[in-house]
């Protein structure tokens, strides 16, 4: 989906553990969060956690996404109805 959007002229931004990954390398901007996944190189961990595999990253991602979206919504004077009208328009 990121490749499709970029080909259509969109700037890519991502939230990731590894900004050097495929989507991270396409991104104009990224937010790097701590976390662990099975795909981290050489078994290195971003942070120690008692949570299984990617749970910490997933939880931090949801909070980050909501915060970014609410901040942008408020700064641009939009409403939740404005956001709903554009939801999932690339599919």
Of residues 19 and 47, more confidently modeled: 19
Mean pLDDT of the residues in the chain: 86
* Residue 39 · residue 16 · CB < 8 Å: no
Share of the chain above pLDDT 90, in %: 59
Domain limits of the chain?
2-86
Number of C-beta neighbours around residue 23 at 10 A: 18
Question: Is 58 annotated in the active site?
Answer: yes
Q: Identify the active-site residue in 3, 20, 41, 58.
A: 58
Which uninterrupted H or E stretch holds 13?
strand 13-16
The reported pLDDT for the residue numbered 38 is: 66
- Encode pLDDT of 41-70 as tens digits: 555 656 777 877 778 889 999 999 999 999
Q: Which residue in 59, 35, 55 sits closest to 45, CA to CA?
A: 35
The reported pLDDT for the residue numbered 15 is: 94
């Amino acid at each position: 989906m990121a490749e499709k959007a970029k080909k259509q002229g969109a700037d890519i931004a991502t939230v990731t553990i590894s900004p050097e990954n495929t989507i991270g390398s396409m991104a104009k901007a990224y937010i790097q969060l701590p976390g662990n996944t099975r795909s981290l190189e050489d078994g290195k961990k971003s942070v120690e956690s008692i949570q299984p595999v990617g749970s910490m990253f997933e939880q931090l991602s949801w909070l980050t996404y909501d915060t970014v979206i609410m901040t942008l919504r408020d700064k641009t004077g939009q409403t939740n109805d404005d956001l709903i009208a554009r939801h999932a328009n690339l599919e």
